[in-house]
Amino acid sequence: MYFIFEIEFSSNKNYLANLIRAYAEQEKMEVDVIQSYEKIVMVFNEEDERLESFTLGLESILPASLFLGKSKHYTAEEKPALMPTKQVDLPLNIAPCPSCQKEMFDVSSRRYFYPFTSCNNCGSQHTFLTKYPYIRANTTMKFLVPCAACEEERENNALRKDYPLISCIECGIGLRMVDRETEHMALNKGDYRKLFKAAAGAISSGKTVLMKTMHGYRKFFNPNRDLEAIKSIDFSINALETGLSKSPYTFEKQDKESVGLSTLLMVSAGGFNEHLMMVEQEFNALLSIERPLLRVATKSDALKKLYGSSVLVKYPDDGMTMLLAGELVKHGLEYVAYIECDNNEEADFLVDFDMPITSQKDMKLFVNQDEKLFVSGERILYPALVQGNKNRVSVAHDLACVGVDGKKIIDSLEVFDSVDTDEIYVLEDEDFESGHANEKPFEQYQASMMSVLAEHHKIGQKSIGVHFDGSLHFLYYNGKSVINAVPPIPFESDNLWEKIRTLREGSDRLVGNYKKAYPEVWERLDNLEGNMDIFEVTAITLGLEDESFEGISAEALSFLGKGGLQIDTRVKDNRFDNYAFLTSIMSYQLGDVENNFMCYSIYESFGDYIGEIVPQLCDKVGSNIVVLTGETFANQSLYGRIQRTLGQKNPLMSKNFPIGKENAVHGALYL
């Protein structure tokens, strides 16, 4: 008889299954670990007396994960027949696992306060990759020689067997902290600890710290600081090492802009319920080993004053931020803020290390009840192993899909050497010149729709698609190619008032009234430069601090009522008209409609419009397969409306790729 233990795992990533295998090897436990589509299955001999202790031990070594679901166990006379997922050694870019975290905070460990602690199944590995295949010689760590203890681990430690990036304080990467007068080098355990202690002391007392993390440079600061009150404090590194006294600081208006556009780093899980309004799924996602970026509603008065109704939130996501957070908690802080920047950003202190890194764009996650959608970014999902029978390379948004040793891998362009290929597909307007004789351009909406169809095994089947990413496109896939069935009327932000004035009868009066009521906004819109999308212009019209789709989404979250206004979404032939949309918003604005109600109504109106057009197209082509793509769908109001209007058709969306632009490199394989 066999004892079967199954865990739902909705990803093709292998790090949890590999971690279980390593733990079994460490404990000398016989178990078959099989990862198949959407689950990990462990098969034990039912008579093994260590079965209970092993399964209980899994709780201590397995991290929380975005992809984990329910578990179950049962007995069977035969082993289950499963088709395992393909596996390839790709560098990860997730947080340290529980075992590695334990080492970082264990004073007896060789990795005490060593932020580059990782193993085969966790950590910021991709940061150090220079090219494939993923071996130490192809990483920036190739110049560091492992010490005897690390070499012994590489041979015998199940978690780090043949690990390319193995290192510790004795043989690894050094840190330094610099102010205008002093440089402090971290060379041993005590130095590493003092450095993070000093950085936390500076931040808690109101100074800024520019820190190189495994995800690039971040400028950290206490968003509640009083800029005047801190001028008399001694901020030399030597003073910071001994700790600083704390004072209750208040926030100054002059620094509001940098705070409002920053990301909130929650350094203590204990502060979540006090400061943020979250559902359980959002809480679990933030604390997962994948550490995504989420927009969450604010709860405490302090955060509402700083960020308004919602804020982008992170939990410490690499060794640098974890160790910093551990010290910040000792100063009584529950959160700090940071902005992503480069090494030229001005700050009071710099924490740096002399090792080149390649940072990936952070991954934004959208949560709606039990549904989780990756919105945009690279980290967590890339690099990715994908299927494809054609000898084709695809390029989009600085990502490429390239064949390596017989496997197709999606990753950043710079980690691939030259490759022989029959053809290369390049996203329209991508800044990339291949020089290949058979180079073919493609549109974002085409590739995005094909990516979703391929994920759901619908290639070759007629379907209707909606691509909403700044512009709204209704698509038709005839089984061979994607057709832009109902394209939007093109939007050009220059000469905006002239286009609005001639839209329809009475529009010229609207322009005149708007100029009188909002002269500053009128002038700003009259002098727009560059190719701006409708959401940027809408945010400017409403006077939002964050002039983007993100800003409108954030404002919509603060509306707690039900039912919105009807925003004009079309003029003729059922095509979305950007100018009619903008004119409708200005009319309501002149009627003193609140911004949050307006932003909420925008998405509700889009949801109604999409819910009306899609069934008509489905009936016309005789298909009930509906595909939704584009990061605009990552909005609670719009997503909820779509579920009500199109829920019966079970619309398909990306699961293993972002719903936004980064899925194009995958979809191009099927064009």
Name the one residue in this structure whose structure tokens are 């800044």: 431
pLDDT tens-digit map of 55-80: 899 988 999 999 999 999 999 988 88
Tell me which of 160 and 245 has the higher pLDDT: 160
pLDDT value of position 226 = 57
pLDDT value of position 571 = 52
Residue 640 belongs to domain with CATH number: 3.30.420.40
DSSP 8-state code for residue 32: E
Beta sheet of 472-477, edge-to-edge order: 482-486, 472-477, 463-468, 626-629
151 and 254 housed in the same domain: no
Residue 244 belongs to domain with CATH number: 3.90.870.10
Q: How crowded is residue 265: how many other Cβ atoms within 10 Å of its Cβ?
A: 21
CA distance 630 to 451: 12
Q: Which residues of 325-354 are buried (b: 16+ CB within 10 A; e: fewer)?
A: bbbbeebebbbbbbbbeeeeeebbbbbbbe
pLDDT tens-digit map of 289-323: 999 999 999 999 999 999 988 899 999 999 999 99
pLDDT value of position 573 = 67
Is residue 417 a part of any domain in this protein?
Answer: no
Asked if the model's pLDDT at residue 501 lies above 60, the reply is: yes
pLDDT tens-digit map of 555-575: 887 787 776 677 776 555 667
DSSP 8-state code for residue 129: B
CA proximity to 656, closest of 46, 140, 66, 48: 66
Mean pLDDT of 208-232: 81
pLDDT value of position 564 = 67
Q: Are strands 392-396 and 423-427 parallel, antiparallel or unpaired?
A: parallel
Is residue 25 a part of any domain in this protein?
Answer: yes
CA proximity to 629, closest of 660, 591, 602, 668: 660
549 and 596 housed in the same domain: yes
Helices 519-526 and 507-517, interaxial angle, to 10°? Answer: 120
pLDDT tens-digit map of 177-189: 998 778 888 989 9
Of 318, 352, 386, which residue is a domain's last? 352
Is residue 411 a part of any domain in this protein?
Answer: no
| Cis? peptide before 383, omega within 30° of 0 | yes
pLDDT value of position 254 = 35
Asked if the model's pLDDT at residue 15 lies above 90, the reply is: yes
Per the CB < 8 A criterion, the answer to whether 126 and 361 are in contact is: no
Longest dimension (CA), the chain: 84
CA distances from 335 to 31, 94, 268, 305 (A): 42, 21, 7, 14
Mean pLDDT of 149-167: 97
CA distance 599 to 555: 6
103 and 49 housed in the same domain: no
343 and 249 housed in the same domain: yes
Q: What is the dihedral of CA 16, 19, 20, 22, to 10 degrees?
A: 160
316 and 190 housed in the same domain: yes
CA distance 258 to 266: 18
Is residue 226 a part of any domain in this protein?
Answer: yes
pLDDT value of position 343 = 92
CA distance 600 to 537: 17
pLDDT tens-digit map of 315-359: 999 999 999 999 999 999 999 999 999 999 999 999 999 999 999
Name the one residue in this structure whose structure tokens are 């299955």: 41
DSSP 8-state code for residue 576: B
CA distance 394 to 667: 9
**Which residues are registered as beta bridge partners of 338?**
220, 263
Per the CB < 8 A criterion, the answer to whether 584 and 607 are in contact is: no
Distance of CA 590 to the CA centre of its chain: 37
Tell me which of 528 and 531 has the higher pLDDT: 528
pLDDT value of position 30 = 92
Specify the 3-state DSSP secondary structure of 476: strand
Q: Are strands 276-277 and 463-468 parallel, antiparallel or unpaired?
A: unpaired
Name the one residue in this structure whose structure tokens are 């940027």: 536
Asked if the model's pLDDT at residue 644 lies above 60, the reply is: yes
Residue 107 belongs to domain with CATH number: 3.90.870.30
CA distance 537 to 535: 5
pLDDT value of position 251 = 32
Of 173, 194, 210, which residue is a domain's last? 173
Identify residue 66 by its one-letter amino acid code: L
CA proximity to 549, closest of 661, 429, 395, 643: 661
Residue 38 belongs to domain with CATH number: 3.30.70.260
Distance of CA 607 to the CA centre of its chain: 24
Residue 128, both tokens: 């150090």
**Which residues are registered as beta bridge partners of 371?**
368
Highest mean pLDDT: which range of 92-101, 466-475, 561-570:
92-101
Per the CB < 8 A criterion, the answer to whether 298 and 309 are in contact is: yes
Residue 268, both tokens: 């203590």
Which segments within 592-635 are labelled E, that is strand? 626-629
Which of 14-23, 140-149, 567-576, 643-652 comes out lowest in average pLDDT? 567-576
227 and 149 housed in the same domain: no
CA distance 613 to 604: 14
468 and 598 housed in the same domain: yes
Number of domains in the chain: 4
**Which residues are registered as beta bridge partners of 339?**
219
pLDDT value of position 240 = 52
Asked if the model's pLDDT at residue 247 lies above 60, the reply is: no
Per the CB < 8 A criterion, the answer to whether 51 and 61 are in contact is: no
Rg (CA), the chain: 27
CA distances from 545 to 153, 470, 531 (A): 52, 19, 20
Residue 469, both tokens: 């990413």
Q: Which residues of 268-293 are buried (b: 16+ CB within 10 A; e: fewer)?
A: beebbeebbbbeebbbbbbbbbbbbb
Mean pLDDT of 527-541: 85
Phi, psi of 236 (to 5 degrees): -70, 155
Residue 337, both tokens: 């803020």
Asked if the model's pLDDT at residue 576 lies above 90, the reply is: no
CA distance 128 to 144: 12
120 and 196 housed in the same domain: no
Of 42, 76, 110, which residue is a domain's last? 76
pLDDT-based confidence at 87, cuts 50/70/90? confident
pLDDT tens-digit map of 109-118: 999 999 999 9
Is residue 401 a part of any domain in this protein?
Answer: no
Average pLDDT, the chain: 89
Q: Are strands 439-442 and 423-427 parallel, antiparallel or unpaired?
A: parallel
Q: Which residues of 551-579 are buried (b: 16+ CB within 10 A; e: fewer)?
A: bbbbbbbbbeeeebbebbbbbeeebbbbb
pLDDT-based confidence at 230, cuts 50/70/90? very low
Per the CB < 8 A criterion, the answer to whether 128 and 351 are in contact is: no
Which of 422-436, 480-494, 564-578 comes out lowest in average pLDDT? 564-578
198 and 335 housed in the same domain: yes
Name the one residue in this structure whose structure tokens are 């984990």: 68
Per the CB < 8 A criterion, the answer to whether 552 and 541 are in contact is: no
Is residue 444 a part of any domain in this protein?
Answer: no
CA distance 484 to 348: 52
Per the CB < 8 A criterion, the answer to whether 328 and 200 are in contact is: yes
Answer whether 0.85 is exceeded by the pTM: yes
Is residue 395 a part of any domain in this protein?
Answer: no
Q: How crowded is residue 405: how many other Cβ atoms within 10 Å of its Cβ?
A: 8
231 and 293 housed in the same domain: yes
pLDDT value of position 286 = 97
204 and 342 housed in the same domain: yes
Asked if the model's pLDDT at residue 284 lies above 50, the reply is: yes
Residue 71: in which H helix or E strand, if any?
strand 68-76
Asked if the model's pLDDT at residue 244 lies above 50, the reply is: no
Specify the 3-state DSSP secondary structure of 653: coil
52 and 191 housed in the same domain: no
**Which residues are registered as beta bridge partners of 2?**
45, 76
Mean pLDDT of 655-670: 96
Is residue 370 a part of any domain in this protein?
Answer: no
The percentage of the chain sitting over the pLDDT mark of 70, rounded to a whole number, equals 94
**Which residues are registered as beta bridge partners of 423?**
392
Q: Which domain holds residue 221?
A: 186-352
